[in-house]
Amino acid sequence: MNQRIFVEKKSAFDVESQKVLAELQEFTSLTRLKLYVIYDVFGAEQESWEKLQTVLLDAVADTVHTSNPAAEESSWFAMEYLPGQYDQRADSAEQAIQLVVGYKPSIRTGKLFVFNKVDDSELSKVKDYLINHVDSQEKDLLLIEKPSVPLPTEVLTIHGFTELNEVSLLQFHKEWSFSFDLDDLKFIQD
């Protein structure tokens, strides 16, 4: 069974929404913001779903939603880690669920940001500020599917790397366009 839930912190516990709103108010006209954590759970068994949810939320501090809680008069977007990026929240949830229910479902997490209605240019500014495109992307809430992560078919082996002299090593460094400097490459070579 594949299932998505949205976990909302109750107002008294919602420190992160307030912090993000304060940051965004420095350059936008936002007046309210609510943050939800999204859990996409893949391979969960129906009979253990209730027990599984106890791992994902705190009954005292959280409220759970089974559909997108964004109101029509609001602007919103969701984000998630890129496929292949390490997601600590998902990894921790998978391990805890395995201890509680005896099997390990696959989990992907994300965040849903819901705020007062804004125009497209302001929405774009908010997205640019909150989404780090190096490790994250906008999440499509219409899909509940586990992304496939392509595995490399062949790992390249560089023969003779440890024997390269300084001139050859410099050429090798330029050829591969490494972001680290030549001294780092020399350290790796040793």
pLDDT of 70-97, one tens digit each?
877 789 999 999 988 999 999 999 999 9
Q: Domain map of the chain by residue range?
A: 3-138, 152-190
Helix (H, G, I), strand (E, B) or coil at 174: helix
Instruction: Please give the mean pLDDT across all residues of the chain.
Output: 90
pLDDT score of 152 more than 80:
no
pLDDT score of 144 more than 80:
yes
- Of residues 171 and 150, the one with the higher pLDDT is 171
pLDDT, residue 178, reads 86
Distant-in-sequence, close-in-space partners of 162: CB < 8 Å, separation ≥ 6: 189
pLDDT score of 150 more than 80:
no
Spatial separation of the C-alpha atoms in residues 17 and 26, rounded to whole Å: 15
Distant-in-sequence, close-in-space partners of 8: CB < 8 Å, separation ≥ 6: 14, 34, 36, 62, 63, 64, 65, 69
pLDDT, residue 53, reads 86
State percent of the chain over pLDDT 70.
99
